[in-house]
Each structure stands twice: as C-alpha cells, then as structure tokens.
Amino acid sequence: MNTSKKKKILVLSTYSCYPPRGGGQQRLFNIYSRLAKHFDVTICSIVESNKEIQNLKLYNGLIQICIPQSRDHAELQSIVEKDIGLCLHDICMINLIDKSPEYVSKAKKLIENSDIIVFSHPYLYRLSKFVNDHSLMIYEAHNVEYLLKKNYINDRLLVDGIRDIERKACFGVDMIWVTSKEDGYDLNELYNADQEKIFVVPNGVDTDKIPYSNREDRIQQKAELGLSKWKTVLFVGSWHPPNLEALEFISFDLAIKKEDYLFLVVGSVKDYYFTKYNNLPKNILCFGVVDDIAINPMFSGSGTNIKMLDYMSAGLPVISTQIGARGLEVDENKHAVIATQRDFAEKLNNLMDDDNLKNYLGLNARRIAENRFSWDKIVEKIEHDLL
C-alpha cells in the first residue's frame, strides 16, 4: 500500500474519460480531475481493440491510461454481439477480462500500489481479487445496471451475469456511490445492500462552463442564425437505449403534432436513429442552439440524466418525465414541468406560450444547478469522506 503523503486513487473503467463527451465520461472527468487536486488519481481503462494505448496527463495531474482489449478478447466479444445484435463491450468484461492479459497485468500493478480502488460500473469487479485488505474499495454505480439493461438485452444468461456481478460488487466493497437516493433503494431491494455504506454522489454540472443565458440573449442568437420564425426545442443525447427511445417519441409523436416547432437534436443518438430509420421528420435538425424549451422525454433508464443538469445550468425551461428528472429532487412547475407520454405534447404547447413561466422555471433551474449540483460542491463532500 502507498505510504506517501497523497493517497493514491485508482479507477477501473471500461471507457476513457477523455475527451468527456457522453454522460459517463463527463462524470469520470469532472469528479476525478477535481479529486486530483488532493489525491494521486489514475483512471485505467480497457478500451476497444481498434484504439491506441494512451497515457495522458490531464487537468490537475489526473492520469488517464487506456489499454486496448486483446484480439482474442475482441473476437469472442464479437461472437456474443452478433448473436444479441447489440454493442456489449462493457458487459462482456464479466467473463472475458482474463482474455486481455496486458490490461489485467497493468491493473494488478496499479491496484497493489493504491490506497483506494474504485470500480466504475461493476463489470471489472472480478479484478477485486488483487486488492489487499488494507485498501478501500468503492463501487461507483452510475446506474442500477441490472434494472437498466434487462429491458433491452434479450439474453437471460447475460442479464443474470449482470445481476450476479452487481450483487458481488455491492457485497464486497466498503462504499457504494450512487447517483440518486432512488438507486440506493433499488440496490438495497435487489441485493440487500447495506444502506450504511451507500452514499449519494450525484451527477453534476460545471456551472462556470455552462453559464446562465437570459431570454434576450437567446432571442438574439436565434435571429443571427435565421431561426426567429421557429419555436425551438432542444434534445441532447448520446447513444443510449433510453435516448433512442426518447428520439423515437420526438419523431413519431411530438414532431408530427407540432409542425411549427423546430426540434434541435444534439449528440450521437442521431447516428443510431439514422441507422434504424434512415431519415428524420423535416422539422427535426441534428444540431443547433435553443431559444425556447429543452425536453427530456425519458421513459426508461436508471441513474440521473446529466443532460437535465446542462439544461438547468443554462437556465432553460425544461419539460421532463418523472424518469427523466429522477434523482434531481426538482419541484414540479418550479424547477421543471413534469409530463407523461400522454400529456407531453399538450404541456409543451402550454409552456411555449407562457413566457412568464419559462422565465420562472429557467431562473429556478439555474439556482438549483448552482446550489446542489455544482461538480465543485459534489467533490468537496467526496474529499471529506475520503481524506
């Protein structure tokens, strides 16, 4: 175990934190780059076989090591993926991690010299066999993985494997970080996880990088882009089954009903949509800035949505489902409008025509982003628990 002044934190992950694009990457980068002010932090990631080995020194001295999976590992994963029809890079780690000896060897050496080992997601938890009794182990549960993935993986053995490794992680670690109280309750219900070792470490937002934008500024931006005649609505999403489900709802329900609205879709979710459906309705664009409203029509999923925090930090009035606002403790009609699939279009229309409510929601949303969900404040609490 390390005896230097700074404690060493090792994070084991199935993807790189840099550049931080998707929600999971943003979480890794923002938490661990801030912890690197007072800890020696290394993220050791096993990445796809077509990527390069990397050893990066990032913000505050955060080290990001990326080691590609072996060819044998990738080929066996490909066989499983072909049968299921989904990308299963993370899930296949449960049974195939030993097929990547270069990564396992590096992870083992880092584990032996670390004070705190964080399993970011449960999929690399088999490597806990290398952890000595003096090190602190943390399971960072971005979601409740079993509940999230059982809805779209049509293979009982794989789903059972997810449940088993998640149960083992909950039982074997010293601390469990969840993104919401709801996820903590679910882990307790599923696995009898000890509530005393469950800590809420919410997703956050960099409120300095996403400043509040008032209505006048957004109106001016729309004019500069030639969008003044449109009522604009923003949806942000990386590839993730709940995001694809939401984009399908926007395309087949909202866009058809609201032909005078322009829906602006940002993120890689559009690429998977095009693969499946080939085109989008004419009033959906896959880029843009927003003036009026942001939406989060999530109907499935776990954890909390970072996109909601981005919307709120910018002071955008938001319409979301209950699942989309999960874990954020927003008050209905104060911080956001909460809608069901059935009344989403109606509430969207009502909010679009109510400038006073839009301003009220935007201001309150910004305040809650600053007061509760600033990454700086979240990490200050983590430091207190770990030092």
pLDDT tens for residues 201-210? 999 999 988 8
Same domain, 124 and 174: yes
Q: Which of 277, 212, 264 is nearest to 235 (CA)?
A: 264
In a domain, 24, yes or no: yes
pLDDT band of residue 4 (cuts 50, 70, 90) is low
Q: Is the pLDDT of residue 106 over 70?
A: yes
In this prediction, residue 255 carries a pLDDT of 92
Same domain, 50 and 155: yes
In a domain, 333, yes or no: yes
Domain that holds residue 136: 8-201
In a domain, 381, yes or no: no
In this prediction, residue 215 carries a pLDDT of 78
Same domain, 279 and 174: no
Same domain, 229 and 172: no
**143, 177, 201: which is the final residue of a domain?**
201
Same domain, 139 and 278: no
* Residue type, position 303, single letter: G
Q: Is the dihedral of CA 365, 368, 373, 374 positive or negative?
A: positive
Of 79-88, 239-248, 341-350, the one with minimum mean pLDDT is: 239-248
Higher pLDDT, residue 322 or 239: 322
Mean pLDDT of all residues in 317-333 = 93
In a domain, 1, yes or no: no
152 CB-side CA count, 13 A: 17
135 CB-side CA count, 13 A: 26
In a domain, 207, yes or no: no
**201, 225, 243: which is the final residue of a domain?**
201
In a domain, 275, yes or no: yes
Q: Is 8 left (phi over 0), alpha (psi -120 to 50) or beta?
A: beta
- Please write the tens of the pLDDT for every residue from 264-312: 888 778 776 677 777 888 888 876 445 579 999 999 877 788 889 999 9
Same domain, 54 and 109: yes
In a domain, 2, yes or no: no
Higher pLDDT, residue 348 or 303: 348
Same domain, 250 and 196: no
In this prediction, residue 383 carries a pLDDT of 93
Q: Is the pLDDT of residue 345 over 70?
A: yes
Buried b (16+ CB within 10 A) or exposed e, 184-198: bebbeeebebeeeeb
Same domain, 180 and 233: no
In this prediction, residue 288 carries a pLDDT of 45
CATH, residue 243: 3.40.50.2000
Query: How many structural domains comprise the chain?
Result: 2
pTM of structure: 0.85
In this prediction, residue 237 carries a pLDDT of 82
Q: Is the pLDDT of residue 1 over 60?
A: no
Q: Is the pLDDT of residue 238 over 90?
A: no
Same domain, 122 and 268: no
In this prediction, residue 366 carries a pLDDT of 94
**152, 172, 201: which is the final residue of a domain?**
201
In a domain, 387, yes or no: no
- Please write the tens of the pLDDT for every residue from 121-174: 999 999 999 999 999 999 999 999 999 999 889 999 999 999 999 999 999 999
Task: Report the share of the chain in percent with pLDDT over 70.
Answer: 97
Q: What is the mean pLDDT of the chain?
A: 92
Of 7-16, 51-60, 241-250, the one with minimum mean pLDDT is: 241-250
Same domain, 138 and 266: no
In this prediction, residue 157 carries a pLDDT of 96
Neighbours of 375 (CB within 10 A): 23
CB 59 within 8 A of CB 91: no
pLDDT band of residue 5 (cuts 50, 70, 90) is confident
Same domain, 287 and 145: no
Q: Is the pLDDT of residue 320 over 90?
A: yes
Same domain, 109 and 239: no
Of 34-43, 58-67, 224-233, 312-321, the one with minimum mean pLDDT is: 224-233
